[in-house]
Amino acid sequence: MPALERALRAPVSLIRSTGNLTRGALANARRSTALIAAAVDERRNLTALLVGPQPGTLELLDAPECWALLRSRGVGRFVYVAREGTPDVVPVNYAVEGRDLLIRSGSGPKLQAAERGEQVAFEVDDLDELTRSGWSVVVYGRASLVQPGEHLSTTVPAAWAGGPRDHLLRIRPRRLTGRRLDGSSST
Protein backbone atom coordinates (compact mmCIF):
# COMPACT_ATOMS: atom_id res chain seq x y z
CA MET A 1 0.00 0.00 0.00
CA PRO A 2 1.51 3.40 -0.99
CA ALA A 3 2.54 5.76 1.81
CA LEU A 4 -0.05 8.40 0.84
CA GLU A 5 -2.91 5.89 0.99
CA ARG A 6 -1.73 4.67 4.40
CA ALA A 7 -1.44 8.27 5.57
CA LEU A 8 -5.01 9.12 4.54
CA ARG A 9 -6.40 6.11 6.40
CA ALA A 10 -4.45 6.78 9.61
CA PRO A 11 -6.54 9.78 10.82
CA VAL A 12 -9.78 7.81 10.36
CA SER A 13 -8.57 5.02 12.63
CA LEU A 14 -7.30 7.62 15.11
CA ILE A 15 -10.70 9.34 15.19
CA ARG A 16 -12.53 6.08 15.66
CA SER A 17 -10.36 5.37 18.67
CA THR A 18 -10.86 8.86 20.23
CA GLY A 19 -14.44 9.41 19.04
CA ASN A 20 -14.89 13.21 19.54
CA LEU A 21 -12.99 15.09 16.78
CA THR A 22 -14.69 17.70 14.58
CA ARG A 23 -14.72 17.72 10.79
CA GLY A 24 -12.13 20.53 10.74
CA ALA A 25 -9.83 18.55 13.00
CA LEU A 26 -10.26 15.50 10.80
CA ALA A 27 -9.43 17.53 7.64
CA ASN A 28 -6.37 19.03 9.35
CA ALA A 29 -5.20 15.61 10.47
CA ARG A 30 -5.61 14.16 6.96
CA ARG A 31 -3.79 17.12 5.37
CA SER A 32 -0.93 16.90 7.88
CA THR A 33 -0.62 13.15 7.49
CA ALA A 34 -0.54 13.48 3.69
CA LEU A 35 2.21 16.11 3.92
CA ILE A 36 4.25 13.91 6.23
CA ALA A 37 3.82 10.91 3.89
CA ALA A 38 4.88 13.03 0.90
CA ALA A 39 7.95 14.24 2.79
CA VAL A 40 8.89 10.66 3.70
CA ASP A 41 8.51 9.54 0.06
CA GLU A 42 10.56 12.53 -1.14
CA ARG A 43 13.34 11.73 1.33
CA ARG A 44 13.30 8.06 0.27
CA ASN A 45 13.61 9.06 -3.41
CA LEU A 46 16.35 11.58 -2.66
CA THR A 47 18.30 8.98 -0.69
CA ALA A 48 18.09 6.57 -3.65
CA LEU A 49 19.39 9.32 -5.96
CA LEU A 50 22.26 10.20 -3.64
CA VAL A 51 23.31 6.59 -3.18
CA GLY A 52 22.92 5.93 -6.91
CA PRO A 53 23.15 2.68 -8.77
CA GLN A 54 25.54 0.03 -7.62
CA PRO A 55 28.70 -0.56 -9.68
CA GLY A 56 28.56 -3.30 -12.28
CA THR A 57 30.87 -6.27 -12.62
CA LEU A 58 34.04 -5.84 -14.67
CA GLU A 59 35.19 -8.95 -16.52
CA LEU A 60 38.52 -9.44 -18.31
CA LEU A 61 38.19 -10.74 -21.86
CA ASP A 62 40.42 -13.43 -23.35
CA ALA A 63 42.33 -12.91 -26.62
CA PRO A 64 39.86 -14.73 -28.93
CA GLU A 65 36.98 -12.61 -27.65
CA CYS A 66 39.07 -9.43 -28.02
CA TRP A 67 39.84 -10.30 -31.66
CA ALA A 68 36.19 -11.09 -32.35
CA LEU A 69 35.17 -7.69 -30.95
CA LEU A 70 37.89 -5.93 -32.97
CA ARG A 71 36.58 -7.62 -36.13
CA SER A 72 33.03 -6.48 -35.32
CA ARG A 73 33.83 -2.79 -35.79
CA GLY A 74 35.43 -0.51 -38.39
CA VAL A 75 36.14 2.67 -36.41
CA GLY A 76 38.41 3.02 -33.39
CA ARG A 77 40.83 5.43 -31.75
CA PHE A 78 44.50 5.53 -32.70
CA VAL A 79 46.86 6.77 -29.98
CA TYR A 80 50.33 7.91 -30.99
CA VAL A 81 53.00 10.44 -30.07
CA ALA A 82 52.82 13.52 -32.26
CA ARG A 83 55.16 16.48 -32.31
CA GLU A 84 57.46 17.16 -29.37
CA GLY A 85 56.35 14.12 -27.38
CA THR A 86 52.69 15.14 -27.20
CA PRO A 87 50.26 12.20 -27.22
CA ASP A 88 47.35 12.42 -29.64
CA VAL A 89 44.17 10.36 -30.02
CA VAL A 90 42.21 10.35 -33.27
CA PRO A 91 39.30 8.32 -34.63
CA VAL A 92 40.32 6.18 -37.61
CA ASN A 93 38.89 3.60 -39.99
CA TYR A 94 40.51 0.20 -39.60
CA ALA A 95 40.36 -3.45 -40.57
CA VAL A 96 41.78 -6.59 -38.98
CA GLU A 97 44.24 -8.63 -41.02
CA GLY A 98 45.18 -11.83 -39.24
CA ARG A 99 46.62 -10.54 -35.97
CA ASP A 100 47.39 -7.02 -37.25
CA LEU A 101 45.33 -3.85 -37.53
CA LEU A 102 45.34 -1.82 -40.75
CA ILE A 103 44.56 1.90 -40.58
CA ARG A 104 43.89 4.36 -43.41
CA SER A 105 45.90 7.58 -43.16
CA GLY A 106 46.84 10.68 -45.07
CA SER A 107 50.16 12.47 -44.75
CA GLY A 108 50.87 13.95 -41.34
CA PRO A 109 51.81 12.96 -37.80
CA LYS A 110 50.08 9.53 -37.85
CA LEU A 111 52.07 8.58 -40.93
CA GLN A 112 55.27 9.96 -39.40
CA ALA A 113 54.73 7.90 -36.23
CA ALA A 114 54.41 4.76 -38.38
CA GLU A 115 57.51 5.66 -40.43
CA ARG A 116 59.47 5.99 -37.16
CA GLY A 117 58.12 2.63 -35.91
CA GLU A 118 56.66 4.25 -32.78
CA GLN A 119 54.94 2.44 -29.94
CA VAL A 120 51.22 3.14 -30.34
CA ALA A 121 47.89 2.09 -28.91
CA PHE A 122 44.51 1.49 -30.47
CA GLU A 123 41.15 1.29 -28.73
CA VAL A 124 37.67 0.25 -29.81
CA ASP A 125 34.61 0.01 -27.60
CA ASP A 126 30.86 -0.15 -27.41
CA LEU A 127 29.29 1.61 -24.43
CA ASP A 128 25.72 2.15 -23.29
CA GLU A 129 25.56 4.99 -20.77
CA LEU A 130 21.93 4.30 -19.93
CA THR A 131 22.59 0.74 -18.74
CA ARG A 132 26.19 1.48 -17.70
CA SER A 133 27.40 -1.50 -19.68
CA GLY A 134 29.71 -2.17 -22.58
CA TRP A 135 33.12 -3.41 -23.58
CA SER A 136 36.52 -2.06 -24.53
CA VAL A 137 39.52 -3.60 -26.31
CA VAL A 138 42.96 -1.97 -26.33
CA VAL A 139 45.87 -2.99 -28.55
CA TYR A 140 49.46 -1.94 -27.81
CA GLY A 141 52.18 -2.38 -30.41
CA ARG A 142 54.45 -0.85 -33.01
CA ALA A 143 53.17 1.08 -35.99
CA SER A 144 54.68 0.59 -39.43
CA LEU A 145 53.88 1.56 -42.97
CA VAL A 146 52.39 -1.06 -45.29
CA GLN A 147 54.52 -1.05 -48.42
CA PRO A 148 52.89 -0.53 -51.83
CA GLY A 149 52.27 -3.87 -53.53
CA GLU A 150 52.39 -5.81 -50.24
CA HIS A 151 49.88 -8.67 -50.38
CA LEU A 152 47.01 -8.25 -47.93
CA SER A 153 44.55 -10.99 -47.04
CA THR A 154 41.75 -8.59 -46.12
CA THR A 155 39.92 -5.68 -47.66
CA VAL A 156 41.60 -2.38 -46.93
CA PRO A 157 39.53 -0.12 -44.67
CA ALA A 158 37.55 2.56 -46.50
CA ALA A 159 38.11 6.11 -45.27
CA TRP A 160 35.06 8.01 -44.06
CA ALA A 161 36.76 11.41 -44.22
CA GLY A 162 37.38 13.18 -47.50
CA GLY A 163 40.80 14.04 -48.81
CA PRO A 164 43.72 11.86 -49.76
CA ARG A 165 44.14 8.86 -47.47
CA ASP A 166 46.63 7.00 -49.63
CA HIS A 167 48.69 5.38 -46.88
CA LEU A 168 48.03 2.23 -44.94
CA LEU A 169 49.45 1.82 -41.45
CA ARG A 170 49.89 -1.47 -39.64
CA ILE A 171 49.81 -2.07 -35.92
CA ARG A 172 51.44 -5.33 -34.93
CA PRO A 173 50.15 -5.99 -31.40
CA ARG A 174 52.52 -6.81 -28.57
CA ARG A 175 49.75 -6.71 -25.99
CA LEU A 176 45.99 -6.99 -26.19
CA THR A 177 43.56 -6.33 -23.34
CA GLY A 178 39.80 -6.32 -23.10
CA ARG A 179 37.15 -5.70 -20.51
CA ARG A 180 33.38 -6.07 -20.36
CA LEU A 181 31.17 -4.23 -17.88
CA ASP A 182 27.82 -5.90 -17.24
CA GLY A 183 26.13 -2.73 -16.02
CA SER A 184 24.82 -1.80 -12.63
CA SER A 185 21.78 -2.61 -10.59
CA SER A 186 19.56 -0.11 -8.84
CA THR A 187 19.58 0.16 -5.10
For residue range 102-124, list pLDDT tens digits in order: 998 888 888 889 999 999 999 99
Task: Specify the pTM.
Answer: 0.67
CATH of 58-181, one of 3.30.420.40, 3.10.105.10, 2.30.110.10, 2.40.30.30: 2.30.110.10
Q: What does the pLDDT look like over 23-80, one tens digit per residue?
A: 777 777 788 888 888 878 787 777 666 666 667 788 999 999 999 999 999 999 999 9
For 105-169, give the DSSP string: E-SSHHHHHHHTT-EEEEEEEEEETTTTEEEEEEEEEEEEEPPTT---SSPPPPPSS-S---EEE
Q: What is the mean pLDDT of residues 7-35?
A: 68
**Residue 19: what residue type?**
G
Q: Residue 55: its pLDDT value, please?
A: 74
Average pLDDT value over all residues in the chain: 83
Q: Are 32 and 38 in contact (CB under 8 A)?
A: no
Q: Where are the domains of the chain?
A: 3-51, 58-181
Q: What does the pLDDT look like over 123-180, one tens digit per residue?
A: 999 999 888 899 999 999 999 998 887 777 777 777 777 777 878 999 999 999 999 9
Q: Is 19 exposed, middle or buried (0-12, 13-18, 19+ CB in 10 A)?
A: exposed
Which candidate, 114, 106, 124, places its Cα nearest to that of 162?
A: 106
